[in-house]
Amino acid sequence: MDIMSIYQLSKPKNGKEKFLPKIKQASLKTLKLKAPKIKGFHISSENRASSLFSLSIFLSVFMGFLAGGFFVNYFFSLDNSLKEFSFFQPNAGQENESSLSPDNGSQLISQEQAIINIVKSASPAVVSIIVTKDLPVIEQYLYNPFEGFEDFFGNDFELEVPGYREKGTEKKEIGGGTGFIVSSNGLILTNKHVVLDEEADYTILTNSGEKFEATVLARDPVQDIAILKIETEKSLPTLKLADSDKIQIGQTVIAIGNVLGEFRNSVSVGIVSGLKRDVTAIGGSFSELLEGIIQTDAAINMGNSGGPLLDINGEVIGMNTATALNAQSVGFAIPINNAKKDIAQVKQYGEIIYPFLGVYYTIITPALQEEFDLAVDYGAWVGRDGYGAKTEIAVFPDSAAEKAGLQQDDIILKFAGERITLENSLANIISEHNPDDVVELKVLRGQDELTLTVVLTKKEP
């Protein structure tokens, strides 16, 4: 409805135009209002209409003022009430906003800078391992296969065919990997499969370009771990070893390595994707079961083997070992705690040694307990395989187990006070000890529970 439909134009007798409200005019006509008579004054009908119009304007303005005041007060009160809720307060969510905008950017920059600083600090202690070997030089030549048969074929019969013969040897690069320095006097940790060839030579190339001839001090007989040594008079930079038992899934990790044997100290960043993985690693003629290892999505490429997996503090939590060839971003690293004992043994004994008990066994499961009506659903069942069948040998002759009195079908419940289960196998518990350690065994023989004492021996290669 436009304005001209609310007001109509009329011409009073005095000839002046006035806007009169239709509604007011209708009211005057319908109610036939009479102007009041006031002494000394005379109000004409025209003046009455004008007065009523002015009054209506005044009342409208007045009511509008009251209504405005009411709503201003209402919304002011509402604003104060809403301020009680954090998402309406001026500073509400400031902490959350800071994690999404400028401050979060600062945090991201800080993490990025932390990674840069870690790489700068760690790289001098990360080395490339070059594998070389004296290989025969093969040359091609032409020869007459019928030489010496001239009497039969005649002197005019000439035939030359290509052949191959060895002409000395030359040193050639046949492989490579990564390692990292763990002691200032030159001990280097790497994977066993990197230095598996006992006839090869190993050269260490540092990040600064220095070359050192390396000696393989020890190869772990059970794990994919090896320790090398280089000779130098100066103190070398080292990496600090963290406690890998404290690793958490989702934490940031940094892998450094000699990618493809060509790109030294390449860096990749990711997270810990999984823990305590069991995988079988295969490479060339080398195959090994890796138990309890770390899974990460940080890129671990060929040549990264033996390099460090660092946490956000720049400490080593694992040693890069393997990658899944048929998948993306699936790499594996040996927890660094597994290598600490090897390092300590090499420093003390000059070799990596393992304690030896001397039994064949299987871990009892609820299924085996039910099938063979066993008294317990845990422990190491001596002289049995995973199906419960008897093994050819239960106890090794002249072993620590035989000397302690262990027998076929004994169930070792506890070793050095630790309960033996699938998650805590006998082999893992034994690996925590050293040769000559004296250990108590809790053994179930038939219905009798015995306590035996065993002196662990050294495991022979």
Question: In whole angstroms, what is the distance from residue 286 CA to residue 201 CA?
Answer: 18
Distances (CA, A) of 249 to 171, 242, 290, 317: 45, 16, 19, 13
CA angle 316, 321, 326 (to 5 degrees): 130
Catalytic residue among 123, 128, 220, 224: 224
Question: In whole angstroms, what is the distance from residue 393 CA to residue 385 CA?
Answer: 11
> Which residues are paired to 361 by β-bridges?
382
Question: In whole angstroms, what is the distance from residue 278 CA to residue 333 CA?
Answer: 11
Catalytic residue among 123, 244, 266, 305: 305
Q: From 21, 51, 18, 26, select the one nearest 36 (Cα to Cα).
A: 51
Q: Measured in whole angstroms, how far is the alpha carbon of residue 275 from the centre of its chain? A: 9
Known catalytic residue at 193: yes
Contact 134, 169 (CB under 8 A): yes
Contact 201, 213 (CB under 8 A): yes
Question: In whole angstroms, what is the distance from residue 255 CA to residue 403 CA?
Answer: 47
If one counts every other C-beta atom within 10 angstroms of the C-beta of residue 245, the result is: 10
Question: In whole angstroms, what is the distance from residue 355 CA to residue 357 CA?
Answer: 7
The DSSP bridge pattern shows strands 263-283 and 286-296 to be antiparallel
Q: From 391, 420, 406, 413, select the one nearest 456 (Cα to Cα).
A: 406
Q: What is the token pair recorded at 435?
A: 């040769």
What are the DSSP calls for 180-226, one per residue? EE-STTSEEEE-GGGG--TTSEEEEE-TTS-EEEEEEEEE-SSSS-E
Q: From 293, 296, 290, select the one nearest 310 (Cα to Cα).
A: 296
Catalytic residue among 123, 128, 193, 311: 193
Q: What is the token pair recorded at 166?
A: 């060895």
Alpha helices in 325-425 (DSSP H): 336-349, 366-372, 400-404
Q: Which residues are catalytic?
A: 193, 224, 305
